[in-house]
Structure 1
Amino acid sequence: MTILIIQHFKDMKTTTNLYLSSMAVSDLIIFLCLPFDLYRLWKYVPWLFGEAVCRIYHYIFEGCTSATILHITALSIERYLAISFPLQSKTVVTRRRVQYIILALWGFALVSAAPTLFLVGVEYDNETHPDYSTGECKHTSYAISSGKLHIMLWVSTTYFFCPMLCLIFLYGSIACKLWKSKNDLQRPCAFGRERSHRKTLKILVVVVMAFIMCWLPYHIGRNLFAQVDDYEAATLSQKFNMASMVLCYLSASINPVVYNLMSQKYRAAAKRLFLMRQQPRQAHRGQIQL
């Protein structure tokens, strides 16, 4: 929905919405992983989809997760510049430059997730004479024994928490800026600009908070699972990871709901898109009746 709205209407193609549209693409790709996660919940062993699918599925999930957090950080920086340095940001932050930034963010996210391709695979109880009914799609024994899995987990966790600290700083600075600018709101143009900034900021804060609440358990659970060394702890960790996985997919679906609830402009665009879709159908029905 978000992608269609932003692509169909020129007035929705703002720099902020370009980031949101790209994030929607990331969320949509993450949903492609859902059938494989559902299968693993239903029947963890054996893995029936082959080595390549196992690696690519983990890689896509990791890459899109990284892309989303990078988009949120870049978008927050863009909003900080727009509010703190409005005149300079109009010349620096353009749609073309934002498109290049989005491409760079995707490239960096996909490259940084590449080690996942070599750390996961299908493993069997007896590797010498494999019994294909025991195949599991998981982190390889080599990744665990070499310590590379722990390194990747710490890199991924840093990938999450460092941007979060950056976001806290940025939104704290934006809040201070908006609070100090209250005395300048007597001017009509300043009032309109600040009102627009506040509306956009509210939406972005909700999006960021939803992202943190949905993805924080995932990173905590993944690190706990890597540290367990007994059966009871492993069972508890797996249950925690199942709950965190549900939150991850909830994060990938919640953003359009947030936009619809908080943005009147988004609701109006969604209504226009719906009417556009309905008109050809009504015209087609009318031709059939004639």
Structure 2
Amino acid sequence: MQTNKEIAQKSTMYWTKPLSDLILTVDSITLMIGLPTNLLALYTFIWKIKRRAMPLDVLLLSLTISDLLVLIFLPIRMKEAADMKWTLSYFMCPLMGYVIYTTIYNSTLLLTAISVERYLGVAFPIKYKPTRNPRNAVIAVVLFWVTTMAHCSFVYIVQQYETNNDTHPEPLNRDSCHTMFNDKQLKIILPFRLELFIVLFCIPFIICSFCYIKFILILSQLPKFNPKKRCRAIGLAVVTFLVFIICFMPFNVSHLVNFIVSSIPSWRVYTLLPSTFNACLDPFIFYFSSSALRQTFTQFTRGLINRLQVFCFWRLFKCSTVRERLQNSSNISQ
């Protein structure tokens, strides 16, 4: 078990140049890809729900909002990484952690709900259709947010329990916003993190795996099923599995290791990067899940290409006109 002295020392050893560069690189890529694609998805799902709301649209809209919340706070983490020190107000430190951790677990529940919705629609099309009400999806979304917010609130309640100011200084008085816990707090936090690993990661992952495997098997047994739709279904399952394994598994495995060894592993700091990187992978799930988003994306891409063509044509026309004027002026001078 870590002593208070060791925790105090770690609070001044958090940032390294490689860690700073890695966070700036990954978060920059996440922000550049995730922000425009999620804004496009947000516009599409709001428009789709206004026209005709479906349960899948409600779930995808909530997942988009969850990703956008992460993206809003990424510049704050990037500033901390660039300065290699927390320089903002103390209030922003726990708020950033609370939002990021809440959205991570909210995303796992939403992805699981999406897999269940897709499976039920294919496995029981006649029985499930009458109950396919967007109101049920709204209730599920509210329950997911309440559950994840309550779980993550527990960490910050414990953070105030048995706190010693010498070993838990404000972020402005140490070099990071990284949360430190003393021995008494760890006795409460470690079993709680194990519960997070089992309830909010393992169970959703098992349910999601079952639904998508059955989903693909059912579609593969339909002889006249559209090949393009079958490819999209397989793509949806593959991307979702990648999100769970690459983005969410490392962070949650660190909870399990944390519980087994009774201390926080040094590599845990790196596991949060793929979790936030999920914000730029979810739009691929949106693309495979929603025909409305595919249509919007196609229209947006065509419009962008047309504008680029017009711009390039105008630039070429302007350059050729300038060259003609220069040639005419040179001929006149001669």
- TM-score using structure 1 length: 0.73
SS state at 1:25 partner:
helix
CA RMSD of aligned residues (A): 3.9
For residues 120 and 145 of structure 2, the distance between their equivalents in structure 1, rounded to whole angstroms, comes to 22
Match of 2:234 in 1: 202
Match of 1:218 in 2: 251
Is 1:25 matched with 2:57? Answer: no
Shift of residue 64 of structure 1?
1.2
How many residues get paired? 263
Of residues 173, 176, 185, the one that matches 2:214 is 173
Higher relative contact order by CA 8 Å / sep ≥ 6: 1 or 2? 2
Match of 1:250 in 2: 277
Query: For structure 1, which runs of at least 5 residues remain unmatched after alignment?
Result: 186-190, 278-290
For residues 26 and 116 of structure 1, the distance between their equivalents in structure 2, rounded to whole angstroms, comes to 20
For residues 88 and 128 of structure 1, the distance between their equivalents in structure 2, rounded to whole angstroms, comes to 56
The structure-2 alpha-carbon separation of the partners of 1:134 and 1:171, relative to structure 1 and needing over 3 Å to count, comes to closer
The structure-2 alpha-carbon separation of the partners of 1:131 and 1:216, relative to structure 1 and needing over 3 Å to count, comes to closer
Is 1:49 matched with 2:86? Answer: no
Q: Is the 8 A contact 1:3 1:21 kept in 2?
A: yes
For residues 63 and 210 of structure 2, the distance between their equivalents in structure 1, rounded to whole angstroms, comes to 22
For residues 210 and 126 of structure 2, the distance between their equivalents in structure 1, rounded to whole angstroms, comes to 22
The superposition leaves residues 172-218 of structure 1 with CA deviations (integer Å, 9 ceiling, x where unpaired) of 32233334443xx3xxxxx46x975x355334313312311112122
Larger radius of gyration: 2
Runs of 4+ in 1 over 3 A off after TM superposition: 9-14, 39-48, 127-132, 134-137, 142-145, 179-182, 221-230, 240-243, 257-265, 271-277
Is 1:61 matched with 2:88? Answer: no
Match of 2:155 in 1: 116
Q: Is the 8 A contact 2:247 2:275 kept in 1?
A: yes
Shift of residue 21 of structure 1?
1.7
For residues 227 and 21 of structure 1, the distance between their equivalents in structure 2, rounded to whole angstroms, comes to 37
The structure-2 alpha-carbon separation of the partners of 1:258 and 1:83, relative to structure 1 and needing over 3 Å to count, comes to closer
* One-letter code aligned to 1:155: E
Shift of residue 84 of structure 1?
0.8
Shift of residue 70 of structure 1?
0.9
Match of 2:185 in 1: 144
The structure-2 alpha-carbon separation of the partners of 1:135 and 1:214, relative to structure 1 and needing over 3 Å to count, comes to closer
The superposition leaves residues 246-283 of structure 1 with CA deviations (integer Å, 9 ceiling, x where unpaired) of 31222111222454589775332134467899xxxxxx
The structure-2 alpha-carbon separation of the partners of 1:67 and 1:54, relative to structure 1 and needing over 3 Å to count, comes to same
The structure-2 alpha-carbon separation of the partners of 1:45 and 1:129, relative to structure 1 and needing over 3 Å to count, comes to closer
Is 1:267 matched with 2:294? Answer: yes
SS state at 1:139 partner:
coil
SS state at 1:115 partner:
helix
Query: For structure 2, which runs of at least 5 residues remain unmatched after alignment?
Result: 1-39, 305-334
Identity within the alignment, %: 16
- TM-score using structure 2 length: 0.64
For residues 267 and 134 of structure 1, the distance between their equivalents in structure 2, rounded to whole angstroms, comes to 47
